Amino acid sequence: MPTIDDRASRLLLYGANGYTGRLTAALAAAKGLDVVLAGRSAEPIRRLGEQLRLPTRVVGLDDPGALANALADVATVVHVAGPFAVTSAPMLRACLATGTNYVDITGEIEVFEAIWSRAGEIRGAGITVVPGAGFDVVPSDCLAGYVAGQLERPTSLIIALRGLERASRGTMTTAIGQLSASVLCRRGGAIVPLDDRSEREIDFGDGPEPCVPLSWGDVATAFHSTGVPNVTVYLRRTGLLRSANVAGRLFGPLLRSRFGRRALAALVRRAPDGPSAAERRRHRSVVWARATNDAGESVTATLSTPDPYDLTANSVLEVAARVSALRHPLGLATPFQAFGADLVLALPGCERSAPVKSRALRSR
């Protein structure tokens, strides 16, 4: 039988054989963490465990009994198996049943909202749940909390991201599942379709660059982190993004059909597994955020980060370790709510600019 000491810091990394899962598993092994690799595919999990000299467990999310047994001696689940619209609910249900903390790397708005609808159950189970502990949404959540905290009664948040040109197969699979004619934002605290989808010029530090709105996880989480009722997220426009937008407008119904999704999924399976180590080392991303209040005052700051996949591996393990070390459960929290704006600065290679304050000129 597992003892309390066994469970105190043990992590179960579910989805360890995926692209992000393998990066996270290798980092956990290098750090000497007490981690068990898990997933539903026996042979890939077994090979990875042998390679990293880590224990493994094979279990599917459709077997509640086996999943409960797999969590019996685990402090915190590190859930990296997407798409989370499918996988999050059964894993969270198992964590609620077994009193196991839950951390994931989702960036899907509907998943965040589904988890928030269970806040009471999470609190009652006496566990800590922190969704979005990867690039979605640790850097942007921490930066949003930082700029909002520098301002008196902020009412609007604009967040923008640069450097998301590369994607793993898992990320692309999730994107296919999210095909939608609507870009979502928050207005008055509610998540609604964005009316104005025009481009916006944003200076990430090298001069203004064209950005387009997108449905990013902060539309859900920034409201919980800061209480700011109006949130819009942008992404620097790239050639690939422009092509995707054009394709979405021209062929949206086809791409959202079962046939269209199957065809896209087949293309994804032929794509590279994800960026190489050399590509990740050369690549950095920038997050930009501005908070504004009704008096026209604003605070802007930027955050420079390593490649999103490397950041995700570091951040999800950092969050999971901190969650496991808590003396009292937090219930449901965003990364910012759980550990503050400086959480992201504890991750390797992350640098935040000083805040820039400004006031809009009033016409006479």
Give residue 6's pLDDT: 54
Angle between the N-to-C axes of helices 19-31 and 308-325, in degrees from 0 to 180, rounded to the nearest 10: 50
Average model confidence (pLDDT) for the chain?
Answer: 88
Select from 188, 189, 244, 187 the least CA-distant residue to 212.
244
Query: Phi, psi (5° rounding) for residue 251?
Result: -125, 25
pLDDT tens readout for residues 64-92: 999 999 999 999 999 999 999 999 999 99
Nearest-angstrom CA–CA distance, 121 and 113: 14
3-state secondary structure of 2: coil
Select from 220, 189, 22, 229 the least CA-distant residue to 106.
220
- Tokens of residue 35, six digits: 């981690």
Question: How does DSSP classify residue 197?
Answer: -
How is 220-278 classified by DSSP, letter by letter?
HHHHHHH--SEEEEEEE--HHHHHHHHHHHHHHHHHHSHHHHHHHHHHHHHS-SS--HH
Give residue 312's pLDDT: 97
* Domains present along the chain, CATH in parentheses: 4-135+310-343 (3.40.50.720), 138-308+348-359 (3.30.360.10)
Give residue 164's pLDDT: 78
How is 21-86 classified by DSSP, letter by letter?
HHHHHHHHHHHT--EEEEES-HHHHHHHHHHHT--EEE--TT-HHHHHHHTTT-SEEEE--S-HHH
Give residue 89's pLDDT: 98
Chain-centroid distance of CA 187 in Å reads 22
Query: Phi, psi (5° rounding) for residue 239?
Result: -60, -40
Residues facing residue 297 across a β-bridge: 359
3-state secondary structure of 341: helix
pLDDT over 70 percentage in the chain: 83
Query: Phi, psi (5° rounding) for residue 355?
Result: -70, 145
How is 82-138 classified by DSSP, letter by letter?
S-HHHHHHHHHHHHHHHT-EEEE----HHHHHHHHTTHHHHHHHT-EEE---BTTBH
Query: Phi, psi (5° rounding) for residue 205?
Result: 130, -10
pLDDT tens readout for residues 304-335: 999 999 999 999 999 999 999 999 999 999 99
Nearest-angstrom CA–CA distance, 320 and 339: 11
Per-residue confidence at 275, pLDDT binned at 50, 70, 90?
confident
pTM of the entire predicted model: 0.89
pLDDT tens readout for residues 204-246: 999 999 999 999 999 999 999 999 999 999 999 874 444 445 4
Give the CA distances from residue 226 to residues 1, 113, 116, 266, in Å, rounded to whole numbers and listed in that order: 43, 16, 15, 40
Inter-residue contact 317 to 78 (CB < 8 Å): yes
Inter-residue contact 161 to 285 (CB < 8 Å): yes
Inter-residue contact 6 to 73 (CB < 8 Å): yes
Containing 309, the helix (H) or strand (E) segment is helix 308-325
Task: Compute the chain's Rg from CA coordinates.
Answer: 20
Nearest-angstrom CA–CA distance, 179 and 247: 11
Nearest-angstrom CA–CA distance, 317 and 312: 8
pLDDT tens readout for residues 235-272: 998 744 444 454 445 445 544 556 555 655 555 455 55
Select from 169, 165, 175 the least CA-distant residue to 279.
165
- Tokens of residue 139, six digits: 């850097």
